[in-house]
Structure 1
Amino acid sequence: MPNACNVVVLISGSGSNLQALIDSSAAADNPARIRAVISNRADAYGLQRAKAAGIDTRVLDHKAFEGRDAFDAALIEAIDAFAPDLVVLAGFMRILTPGFVRHYAGRLLNIHPSLLPRYKGLHTHQRALEAGDREHGCSVHFVTEELDGGPLVVQAVIPIQPGDSLDSLAQRVHQQEHSIYPLAVRWFAEGRLRLSEQGAMLDGQALPSTGQLIRT
């Protein structure tokens, strides 16, 4: 088995994706080890999930800093104290500075609730329904300076059902998030997933522009 891969997870809210990552990393053959969970909100329920799993937690309130650069500099210091091989964004509701993204280039992953490049930003489920799309889903990607624009690793595709509501669609997408995010993190921890000049690479092969597609 590969050496342990130190992971730091950044959250702002309930941490359901964090819980999926915690559950996945508990497997004896998974080299991903979540060293710390850091939140910009002290009331984030994900902090309780981390503590219940015996994972170190930190809170860094962005409102206590004069501007985004100062916050991100402090955030880098807090993250790097845990010597991370990978930093995972799991509902971290902050736009990161270019300096932060460059510091973690090639070791920063995010999950987004749409089939990128469709529907970058917010309200993705509503936008998919309003557009009359037949399919929707979620995407794991490497983070670059372009918002929601980094190379795609894996996407889960689900059909939009007749009569789907905002809540029913969001719930089904969440279920897929909890499947593909631990998968991508494990690939990285096992040394199978890397970012190169050619984009995202899995097992030494360039992934397609869509990433690996998983249809349900």
Structure 2
Amino acid sequence: MLKVVVLISGTGSNLRALLDGLDEARASDAPIAAEIVAIGADTERANLALGDERGIPTFVVAPGAYPDRAAWGDALLAKVREFGPDLTILSGFMRLVPPRVVDALAPELLNTHPAYLPEFPGAHAVRDALEAGANETGATIMIVDNGVDTGPIIDQRRIAITPDDTEATLHERIKVVERQLLLDTVRHLAAGTLNLKEIAS
């Protein structure tokens, strides 16, 4: 069983989709041998009720409780390691994790991004694609490294931009694809048909 820790900062909509996808697979004839063993956050405002609803342990490691970013990262890493995950997913986690965390968890540290990397990296990828007048963008799932959206790409898909798209409408369509990429990646990792070390090498 693939043990997964998910880190969130907000509503956890992609996490909810992953939980629902795992539940649906479990009820089908093609279950995914993966389990979310903990949900962590960097703020009490994150939607940790997603874990409470399902009996999944939750935790918060708030940066303000530590003297600097490195100390916060060390505390976050220690908390993640308590659950012994095979995989850690940043799902709408709005902070760059310190290098010591990346070095300790990667390549089994994943993130999604609402663009077809290396196009439109950074925090405003959807807005940037629209402002650039692009006619397509995409969604990407990748291994986290110490850059900003520069890690090895696991999978990505193109998404057309329509003339009437707003940032909100485009982002909603991208999220659908991000969620599918995430579920498919977890499925392949659980089945042993995807090797993150090979992708990272």
Give the TM-score of the pair, scaled to structure 1. Answer: 0.87
Look up the match of 2:96: 95
Q: Which has the higher strand share?
A: 1
CA contact (8 A) 1:153 1:200 kept: no
> Quick check: 1:193–1:200 contact (8 Å CA) kept in 2?
no
SS of the aligned residue for 2:106 comes to coil
Alignment match, 2:8 = 11
Residue number in structure 2 paired with 1:180 = 181
The residue correspondences of 1:1-40 to structure 2 (distance < 5 A) are 4-26=1-23, 27-28=25-26, 29-40=31-42
User: In the alignment, which residue of structure 2 is the partner of 1:155?
Assistant: 156
Aligned length: 196
Matched to 1:96, the amino acid is: V
Q: CA deviation at 1:94?
A: 1.0
* Corresponding position of 1:64: 65
Give 1:200 deviation, angstroms: 5.2
Q: Which digits, 9 at most, give the CA deviation of each residue in 1:1-32, with x for residues without a partner?
A: xxx01000000000001011111222221111
* Letter paired with 1:39: A
1:92-141 alpha-carbon deviations (Å, 9 max, x no partner): 11111111101012210000111111111111111101111111121000
Encode CA deviations 1:11-58: one digit per residue, 9 max, x unaligned: 00000010111112222211110000001111112x111211221101
Write the letter of the residue equivalent to 1:175. V
Give, in whole Å, the separation in 2 of the partners of 1:107 and 1:172.
27
Which residue matches 1:167? 168
Identity percentage over the alignment? 39
- Partner residue in 1 for 2:137: 136
The structure with the largest helix share of the pair is: 2
1:195-215 superposed Cα distances (whole Å, 9 cap, x missing partner): 23x5359xxxxxxxxxxxxxx
Aligned-residue offset at 1:176: 1.3
Q: Please say if residues 107 and 200 of structure 2, whose CA atoms lie closer than 8 Å, have aligned partners that are also in contact.
A: no
What amino acid maps onto 1:199 in structure 2?
I
SS at match of 1:7: strand
Please tell me whether the aligned partners of residues 106 and 194 of structure 1 are also in contact (alpha carbons under 8 angstroms).
no
Query: One-letter code of the match for 1:167?
Result: A
Instruction: Name the stretch that deviates more: 82-91 or 59-68.
Output: 59-68
Partners of 1:23 and 1:120 in 2: how far apart?
Answer: 28
| Letter in structure 2 aligned against 1:184 | T
Cα distance in 1 for residues equivalent to 2:200 and 2:192:
13
Partner SS for 2:195: strand
CA contact (8 A) 1:22 1:53 kept: no
Aligned amino acid, residue 107 of structure 1: E
Q: State the match for 1:189 in structure 2.
A: 190
2: CA distance between counterparts of 1:109 and 1:10? 10
Contact 1:12 1:92 in 2 (8 A): yes
State the secondary structure of the residue aligned to 1:199. helix
* Alpha-carbon distance in structure 1 between the residues aligned to 2:39 and 2:87: 12
**Equivalent residue, structure 2, for 1:209:** none
Amino acid at match of 1:157: R
